[in-house]
């Protein structure tokens, strides 16, 4: 890819570099909020024509994607793919704090939120974290190389000692400031 093409398709708002000018135009709508595609049935508007096409299926009842196992049909291919995980048991989203697995990313996100909520409620901020508090606010993976994660900001460390030193960066903050860091 030549450098002139890279510059031409570079989003000045967030720094994203896209391969096509049309992709950049669609992407910029995520920043501007422009929604030029309107549903003639209900008036709802969309930033992309494809999104309008998917939406129209709510009015027409079209469900072109079918589970080959139970024959349930879906309006979107992605929904069908996620549904099939019920039959296969596939759980591709794993919590790096406790190793629990989920079939949907939204389930993992909710689960991680509970870890964060518990970590903040157990934390004695703004006092300096003690070793036992740091341990409560960390988790190891099960890989050969142990990794320690800060449950407040998600930083990753190869040594528990490094995590404990890092925890001091959160020590002088109120619970509200820590909560804002998480979210």
Q: How confident is the model at residue 168 (pLDDT cuts 50, 70, 90)?
A: low
pLDDT of residue 167: 67
Q: What is the dihedral of CA 140, 143, 144, 148, to 10 degrees?
A: -20
Q: Model confidence over 112-125: pLDDT tens digits? A: 888 777 776 665 44
Q: Which range, 4-8, 131-135, 139-143, has the best average confidence (pLDDT)?
A: 4-8
Architecture category of domain 3-51 in CATH: 2-Layer Sandwich (3.30)
Distance (Å, rounded) from C-alpha 31 to C-alpha 13? 8
Question: What global pTM score does this model have?
Answer: 0.51
* Domain coordinates in residue numbering, the chain: 3-51, 93-182
Relative orientation angle of helices 105-122 and 175-182, to the nearest 10 degrees: 170
In this structure, how many other beta carbons lie within 10 angstroms of the beta carbon of residue 155?
15
Residue given tokens 């157990």 in the structure block: 122
What is the pLDDT of the chain when averaged over all its residues? 77
Helix (H/G/I), strand (E/B), else coil: 4: helix
The lowest-confidence range among 138-142, 162-166, 174-178 is: 138-142
């Amino acid at each position: 890819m030549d450098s002139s093409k890279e510059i031409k398709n570079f989003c000045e708002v967030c720094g994203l570099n896209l391969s096509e000018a049309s992709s950049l135009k669609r992407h910029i709508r995520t920043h501007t909020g422009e929604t030029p595609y309107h549903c003639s049935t209900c008036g709802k508007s969309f930033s992309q024509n494809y999104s309008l096409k998917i939406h129209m299926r709510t009015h027409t009842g079209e469900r072109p994607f079918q589970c080959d196992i139970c024959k349930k049909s879906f309006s979107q291919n992605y929904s069908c793919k996620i549904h099939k995980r019920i039959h296969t048991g596939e759980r591709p989203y794993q919590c790096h704090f406790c190793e629990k697995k989920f079939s949907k990313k939204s389930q993992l996100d909710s689960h991680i939120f509970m870890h964060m909520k518990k970590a903040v409620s157990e934390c004695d901020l703004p006092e300096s974290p003690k070793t036992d508090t740091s341990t409560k606010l960390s988790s190891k993976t099960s890989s050969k190389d142990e990794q320690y994660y800060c449950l407040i900001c998600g930083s990753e460390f190869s040594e528990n000692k490094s995590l404990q030193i890092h925890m001091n960066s959160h020590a002088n903050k109120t619970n509200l400031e820590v909560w804002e860091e998480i979210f």
